[in-house]
Structure 1
Amino acid sequence: LAAAAAVTDRLKLGTGIALVVQRDPIHTAKEVATIDVLSDGRFLFGIGAGWNLEEMANHGTDPARRFGLMRERVEAMKAIWAAEEAEYHGDQVDFGPIVQNPKPVQKPHPPIHVGGVYPGGLRRAVRYGDGWMPIAGRGDSDPGGWVRARDEECARVGRAPAAVEISVYAAPQDPARLADLAEAGIDRVMFGLPPEGPETVLPILDRLAGLVGGLSGG
């Protein structure tokens, strides 16, 4: 991401997703702020709790408590980004006053997009995120239903629906289905790419750009 930030000017950069339940929040806050500075405020912080229970345990995370841990680590990072001297005291995250720089370019912090299927993923996104990343083909995959559920959950907690974007992860590479997502009010789609060289990846990017460009009008 740092390398991409250095050679681009307009491209959004993001994680999809960072497993914050397996990462130290103080160190992660520093990394996020640094990438946001290097990109001049183009970073989107996609987060999640993960699914691999054995992997979580290897990182010292109790899988049964991972969602509470994720919330506390996000709250702790928000405090670090916003305050000159930050501290956090929770059930699973606890540290005294610290000073950390740089601060993010985006204020009060880069947008936090929470990955996860409906309904739990949406509830967490509305509670402490700025966006929700449902996975296409997992759980309830009705885009109109996603938008309605987002609006209802935001109304329940007193947030504006526009403050919680919906970005579909692993979106279908089909023009008709992409048009359905756009018509339903989905804000962003994300496609997968193979771990191959430029001779394979660049033609795929050109094709995907054409699909999305057709929906946006250019």
Structure 2
Amino acid sequence: MKINISLPFDHIDNPQEFLTPEAVVEIAQFAEKLGYDGGNVTDHPCPTGRWLDGGGHHAQDPFVMLSFVAAATTRFRLQTGILVLPYRNPFITARAVATLDLYSRGRVTLGLGAGYLKGEYKALGVDFERRNDIMDEYLIALKTALSSEEFTFKGTGYEALGNRTIPGAVQKPHPPLLVGGNSKRAIRRAAELADGWYPFFTGAQLSNTARTAAMNTEEDLAGGLSYLREHCDRIGRQDKPTVVLGSLVAPGEKPAPAELIDRIGQYSEMGISGCAYGLIAGTRAEWRDKAQSFAENVLSKIDNG
């Protein structure tokens, strides 16, 4: 089981703690030294004040942040968790991904999703009601652009006629693509178009407010895994998708280390190959202490190779 850690650069209340180049270097190198497989960043380029005031969070540009992290580390994986794919022209995304993968020597993993913030969609000029159709189309376009030196693709309102994204990504045919989301459509998308599924526990508040399918229990997770396998059989996919859990714990949970170790073992037996661990801290010192405590009490006691 490979464990990533969610990076804290979305915490803007104490900018001197997390919003400096020195903070990125310190935190990224510390997490790599502790043995975390990689770091996760999220994606909210223009969230509404209403959502933020109701418990939402800010997010720095994911490709900029992961570029800083890449420059400070050597083996640490660079993961978007998640990138809202419909927000950007897929060929702009392909160029960003290829560049980051090239300069990081092949360390990018893309968690991708359709998103759920209607107000953010409106601000970016993207049709919220068509987000799932856009997601499917952009995922195909992204794979096309990353997998070929020269490509042709006709999309909705855009068309590539023998265009090139060179040099491409180091990882072939492209960096791992994990589809986020708990809905049956997201699971089908993961089976049909991606390398893996990236589910996440929602908690009651997010389930009620975020227009996203709920996943609150391990039974919910097991049901999603069963549906994933059934759909793979239905479409004839032989290589089963990788499953990486977006978070080891649900929002508000505070399980003890022994419980976390048991949970990781159980998830591994279910066929999950990785997950992310998130923690809340007001200062870099507190973040380091909590990251080290988890590494010593949980990470060191599992097989995370």
Q: Normalization by structure 2: what TM-score?
A: 0.65
- Counterpart AA for 2:244: S
Identity %: 31
- Look up the match of 2:299: 212
Which residue of structure 2 aligns with residue 139 of structure 1?
A: 215
Q: Deviations over 1:156-207 (max 9, x none)?
A: 1111343x11111122254233332122221111122337543122222223
Following the alignment from structure 1 to structure 2, what is the Cα–Cα distance between the partners of residues 35 and 136? 28
Q: Does 1:160 align with 2:238?
A: yes
Cα distance in 2 for residues equivalent to 1:161 and 1:121: 18
- 1:52 corresponds in structure 2 to 117
- Aligned ranges for residues 7-86 of structure 1 at < 5 Å? 7-86=72-151
* Contact map agreement 1:150 1:161 (CA 8 A) in 2: no
- Paired residue for 2:273? 187
RMSD, aligned α-carbons = 2.1
- Post-superposition offset of 1:134: 0.8
Q: Structure 1 CA distance, aligned partners of 2:152 and 2:282?
A: 43
Bigger mean CA offset, 207-216 vs 102-111? 207-216
1:171 aligned to which of 224, 248, 259: 248
Output the CA distance in 1 between the equivalents of 2:153 and 2:115.
23
* 1:107-150 deviation line (CA, Å, top 9, x unaligned): 11001011101322211111111111111243364243333322
Gaps of 5+ in 2: 1-65, 203-213, 250-254
Distance 1:115 1:217, change over 3 A: closer
Counterpart CA distance in 2 for 1:8 and 1:200 is 21
Range with greater deviation from structure 2 (47-56 or 82-91)? 82-91
State the alpha-carbon separation in 1 of the partners of residues 243 and 284 from structure 2: 29
CA distance in 1, matches of 2:153, 2:91: 11
* One-letter amino acid matched to 1:199: A
User: Higher relative CO (CA 8 A, sep ≥ 6), structure 1 or 2?
Assistant: 2
When structure 1 is superposed on structure 2, of 138-147 and 71-80 the one drifting more is 138-147
Amino acid at match of 2:233: A
Q: Relative to structure 1, is the Cα distance of residues 148 and 215 closer, same or farther in structure 2, using a 3 angstrom cutoff?
A: farther
In structure 2, the partner of 1:151 is 229
Contact 2:178 2:195 in 1 (8 A): yes
- Give the Cα separation in 2 of the matches to 1:131 and 1:28: 19
Q: Is the 1:41–1:104 Cα contact (8 Å) retained in structure 2?
A: yes
Q: Partners of 2:288 and 2:109 in 1: how far apart?
A: 23
Q: Contact 1:46–1:114 at 8 Å: present in 2 too?
A: yes
- Structure 1 gap ranges (5+): none
Counterpart amino acid of 1:97?
G
Superimposed CA distance per residue, residues 30-66 of structure 1 (whole angstroms, 9 cap, x where no aligned partner):
1101111122111101111110012112212111111
Amino acid across the alignment from 1:116: G
Greater Cα offset, 40-49 or 188-197: 188-197
CA distance 1:55–1:76, shift in 2 (3 Å): same
Q: Contact 1:81 / 1:109 at 8 angstroms: preserved in 2?
A: yes
Measure, in 2, the Cα distance between the counterparts of 1:47 and 1:15: 7
Aligned residues: 217
SS at match of 1:216: coil
